[in-house]
Amino acid sequence: MKIGIIKPDYKITGGFEVVVNRLKLELELIGHEVQMVYVDATDSTTNDIPYNISQDVFYKNPEFFKYINMYWKYLKMDVSQFDAVISTQPPSFAIQHPRHISLFYHHMKIFYDMSDLVLEVGLQQPYHHKSVQVIREIDTLSLSKVRTILAGSQTIKNRIKQFNNLSNNVDVIYAGIDPDIYHFNGRVAYEYPIVVGRHEFPKRPELFVKAMKRLPHLVGKVVGAGGRTDDLKKIDNLLAYTSREGIDITDDVVWKQMSNGKFSFEYEKLIQTAKKNKSSSNVIFTGRVSSEQLFEEYSKASCVICPAFEEDYGLTAIEAMAFKKPVIACKDGGGYAELIEDGINGFLVDPSSAAIADAIRKISENKDLAIRMGNAAYETSRKYTWSNAIAKLVEHLT
């Protein structure tokens, strides 16, 4: 079968790109001809919209019009050369094909599950409410025509039901993890807590950094990088100073404002004072790491913290579990929360630095608990294999 995978190209490589590339490989291994069809998702024009949009109107609501332009681009795309197509990120599901599967990991989040949050933190565009209404209407129309929507988690399936009122054509597919993880032959230890992932809003590594300031006797690691890394380092430097001086900065300010680069004059002044005082930090930033380095970090971690808000799946958690590491996730963590049996393979906590710090403390002070939870976590990870994922996909392709 000749299969086209339709993929918006955001010029970055994250967890979803890893999943899609693996999916392509697995389909080829069982004999299918698979072609990736990339579409530039950084395009800021309105050339595909069949009516004129003035620059003045565009810049009043750029995210909305960029989405609408992409929507029309996919709607007009000719994919008839393929026997089946798999759409991926929104709005690639607007393509039209009789054998169309949507590998669905998230909506355009600012118009859906993050809609209220972007309003709260001041990231919204003008006419946000109207934009939300229009986007949801056209998405629902397209998704209702898709033969099968394969949601990347139960969390995502629930969102599709909540926002698009669709369930009859929706099934759940859980992606596997890199099988090389199970061939790791290095030493497994329980040395320090880590957080892994891109530094983007609202992954909330800021909550981990703040939690570590409540545990000055421990050292933690931030593994990875992203568009907000510089701000995260500023936050770490600031919190190292304020925690020493007994100055409290609330969690909401840290992850809802500072994580988006919003440092008030008061805090900028404190940052300058912190630089002069050269406050030492108990958080190490590794920067971007290779797969081999990532495996090493997992192997040495006492636990892995997954603090993201409304995560779509939870690949990081499953990878950590494969290394027999307890996972700490937040109750509003979406896909992460699905994976955690509280007190069994990790802890499911309130989304606060205090709750995260308490969970880290419990694991760090009790190695037997860490090992017991880690063993349970490993058993959880074995459920998420590529063979299971491909079997589910092939079932819907045929």
pLDDT, tens only, 84-101:
999 999 999 999 999 999
CATH class of 179-381: alpha beta
Order the strands of the 170-172 sheet from edge to edge: 33-40, 2-9, 84-87, 100-104, 148-151, 170-172
Residue 179 has pLDDT above 90, yes or no: no
Q: What is the mean pLDDT of residues 330-359?
A: 97
- The pLDDT-based confidence of 18 (bands split at 50, 70, 90) is confident
Ordered by start, the domain boundaries in the chain are: 2-174+386-397, 179-381
Reported pTM: 0.91
pLDDT of residue 124: 66
**Torsion angles phi and psi, residue 152, rounded to 5:** -75, -5
Domain 2-174+386-397 matches domain 179-381 at the CATH topology level: yes
Asked if 95 and 146 touch (Cβ cutoff 8 Å), the reply is: no
- How many C-beta atoms surround the C-beta of residue 30 within 10 A? 9
Average pLDDT estimate for 173-188: 89
Instruction: Output the CA torsion 193→197→200→203 (10° steps).
Output: -60
pLDDT of residue 126: 66
- The answer to whether 250 touches 224, Cβ cutoff 8 Å, is no
Give the CATH number of domain 2-174+386-397; options: 3.40.190.10, 3.40.50.300, 3.40.50.2000, 3.40.720.10. Answer: 3.40.50.2000
DSSP letters spanning 295-335? HHHHHHEEEEEE--SSBSS-HHHHHHHHTT--EEEETT-BH
Contact 312, 175 (CB under 8 A): no
